[in-house]
Amino acid sequence: MTNAARKIASYAFSAALSLTLAQLATTPASAADYNVGEIHISQPWARATPKGAANGAAYMTVINNGKTPDRLSCVSSDASAECQIHSMKMENGVMKMRPVEGGLDIAPGETVTFKPGGFHIMFVDLKHPLQEGREVDAKLKFENAGTIEVAYPVAAIGAPAPGAAGSGGSMMQGGGMMQMQKQ
């Protein structure tokens, strides 16, 4: 290899290394996977909240690898006075959010994805804002599998998925307005 070729290779390597390090510095911490009994939890994450927000949300994927149904509830969170499981769905052009009373049933072999616009963990009466780059912990209880503490890395305000940039945090989805209802 000539001296010029070595210089070019060295510059290319340095540029690639710099790009990789820059990406690592701007990517939020990746979430760990969790197992409790026959339940597998993957990709937990939460959205950052603006200062003064009363509530926040977290998401994940839950897989029941067992042969019996299980029921999930949120017991506590370090960031809020209460945590609940909520569902969201469109009804007559209005996005409605409701607590899932008594916990969420997860059938054997079922995968339930908690995501914006669907099921989510709702942190009610936040003690402090959820800050991008930090984590929020929540204790989840499965009726059969047991209890586990899950760390949710916090992504940007309005992020549609972990590692994605925020979209501004609009409360409008699917052409309708969001409305919270108690059951």
| Domain boundaries of the chain, sorted by first residue | 1-28, 34-158
pLDDT band at 22 (very low <50, low <70, confident <90, very high): very low
User: Radius of gyration of the chain from Cα atoms?
Assistant: 20
pLDDT in tens, 75-103: 999 999 999 999 998 889 999 999 999 99
pLDDT band at 26 (very low <50, low <70, confident <90, very high): very low
Largest CA distance in the chain: 75
The mean of the pLDDT values for the chain is: 81
- The encoded tokens of residue 180 equal 């919270």
* Per-residue pLDDT at 11: 45
3-class SS at 157?
A: coil
Q: Which CATH number fits domain 34-158: 3.50.50.60, 2.60.40.1890, 3.30.300.30, 3.20.20.60?
A: 2.60.40.1890
- The encoded tokens of residue 104 equal 């969420």
pLDDT band at 69 (very low <50, low <70, confident <90, very high): very high
User: Residue 130: how many CB atoms within 10 A of its CB?
Assistant: 25
pLDDT-wise least confident of 27-31, 53-57, 94-98, 149-153: 27-31
Q: At residue 1, does pLDDT exceed 50?
A: yes
In the block, residue with structure tokens 């890395």: 153
pLDDT-wise least confident of 13-22, 31-40, 69-78, 109-118: 13-22
- The encoded tokens of residue 161 equal 């998925």
Distance separating alpha carbons of residues 69 and 55, to the nearest angstrom = 30
pLDDT in tens, 107-131: 999 999 999 999 999 999 999 999 9
* Per-residue pLDDT at 161: 82
Contacts of 50 (CB under 8 A, 6+ apart): 129, 157, 169
* Per-residue pLDDT at 167: 53
Distance separating alpha carbons of residues 156 and 98, to the nearest angstrom = 24
DSSP code of 33?
P
